[in-house]
Amino acid sequence: MNFHELVTKSRSYRRFYEEKTIPREILTEMADCARLIPSAQNLQPLRYLIVDGAERENVFSHLKWAGYLTEWDGPEKGERPAAYIILLNDTDISKIVKWDHGIAAQTILLCAASHGMGGCIIGSVNRDGLSSDLSIPAKYTIELVIALGFPKENVIIDEISNDDNIKYYRDSSSNHHVPKRKLEDILFFPGKIK
């Protein structure tokens, strides 16, 4: 699979085959790939908490899923993530994580896609509750939670024009549609900016 295919395959998946576990070696590989990303000032303040056991229910209870799907509270039992990687910022190193967490999260999802898996970057998190439930020391702040597993849903990219609705949605067959602007609408060259 070439890189463009890998990026296209790396969508936000929110329903998984929960019973299919992810080997700990692959979860560790995901964190290792994220460890190697460029880091602002090379401070490397991110830490990676892997949750792949019974604590998954604690994580799930502190997440909000899919803001545009207002009548959906997230995946049902049997469709929940097989694991989570929680991106933590070590505030003893840096109070502000800058953009490292975004680069790390995308790297983790690309690694997951390369293994036939998928995930979802979740920023809507009850951070205080999750920190308490998982006994995360106060020096670490939760930046993002990445849900991971083997996708149980079909995600379709729909090309749209600039004025079309960008809200993702599910159709009557439960296909998840993700509107994306066309390349010609987002790409500029000097002297050609619209």
Segment 83-109, tens digit of pLDDT: 999 999 999 999 888 899 999 999 999
Domain contains 20: yes
In a domain, 172, yes or no: no
Mention every residue, 6+ apart, whose C-beta is less than 8 A from residue 126. 62, 63
Quote the DSSP letter at residue 38.
-
| Contact predicate 83/52, CB 8 Å | yes
User: For the chain, how far is it from start to end, CA to CA, in angstroms?
Assistant: 34
Reported as a single tens digit per residue, the pLDDT across 137-187 is 999 999 999 999 999 999 989 999 888 999 998 899 988 999 999 998 889
Residue 45, domain extent: 3-153
104 in a structural domain: yes
**Does a structural domain hold residue 159?**
no
User: What CATH number is attached to the domain comprising 17?
Assistant: 3.40.109.10
193 falls within a domain = no
Tell me how far the alpha carbon of residue 63 is from its chain's centroid. 12
**Residue pLDDT, tens place only, 131-151:** 999 999 999 999 999 999 999
Q: Is residue 176 part of a domain?
A: no
In a domain, 102, yes or no: yes
Does the model's pTM come out above 0.85? yes
pLDDT for res 96: 84
94 belongs to a structural domain: yes
